[in-house]
Structure 1
Amino acid sequence: MTETPGPTPSQTVGPFLSLGLTWPDGADVAGEDTPDALRIGGIVVDGAGEPVFDAVVETWQADPDGHFDHPDSAAGSAFRGFGRCPTDGDGHWEIRTLKPGPVDGQAPHIDVSVFARGLLDRVVTRIYFPDEAAANATDPVLATVPAERRATLVAVDTGRGDLRFDIRLQGEDETVFFAV
């Protein structure tokens, strides 16, 4: 009887992503006492609508002035522009950050990568802000997205001073992902 070899690590993904990719303050893009800090978070779900409990959400963004050069980005600074947050057992993720400024004619946004089991490559999306309707309407990247799908890229104001941004990897209302 010939034995069929099992998958090798190069053929599978996870649930290894949280090992070595996260750090204790990874979700703190802005320090705890930073004025005007806000929380953005949500849930990552798969194509069946089930929470993805072992994903990593990574964010990059400009500062409130629209700059990416963060001279104070050393540990313990007020703002570093980069975050990395693992999802919890219910698929939730959250970062504390500052609202970015516009960059090169683009509306304020946060770039997001998601790493998860079953994904051989990261998926890349953006978070746009609900209070930036005029800027969002002229954003050149958002303009490439069909109008009926743009809402998947705009965070929702929870009314409690924070924003919700759910990430749907497949299925109905799938988040728009960009080929980069």
Structure 2
Amino acid sequence: MHLNENIKLLGNKIILAPYEARHVPKYHDWMSNETLRQLTASEELTLSEEYLMQQSWREDSDKLTFIILAADIYARDNDEIAAMVGDTNLFLRHDPDTNERVAEAEIMIAEPQARGTGYGREAMLLMLKYAQSQLQLHKFEVKIDMDNAVSLRLFESFQFVETARVKVFHEVTMQREITTEWIDWLDQQVELRMVSYNG
């Protein structure tokens, strides 16, 4: 999606930057890890396929992605590649039954030393706030592996509720309606700070 190609979001611990071609080699290295692929329900891609995927994230109107940068590492020498710790994505769709616009959210902290630091929580809160403020959405949705207790707890803390459990896919679906009350809660959790980004 072109919406976020010229902005980055500033948090306290992390920065969300648009996914650029220069990020692809490190991202590809992450996705060579079988455990990460299982947790994110991702297929293994060649490097050239990963570049094409990055382009689709930029071009397609139903996809939105940011790379998560550790703010303290980035502050040292403004090296985005060194500061990369994960990514967060949204897939947009219309629910055919309700005609509501739904955003399916994903979060991945790929660097082992970055897990348990609060990066994922802050990155997801920033993504949810950005999407809620910039897109015409009715609800957020996540699909999480049944064994991924960390992610299940994370989205429970965001007031998502379980709506389905599919054993054949080993997957739990959780949703959060975007209500005035929930937006007020979200505003208490995170401040949306956007600045221009020129790569």
User: How would you bin the TM-score normalised by the shorter chain?
Assistant: 0.3 to 0.5
**Which has the larger share of strand?**
2
**Which has the larger share of helix?**
2
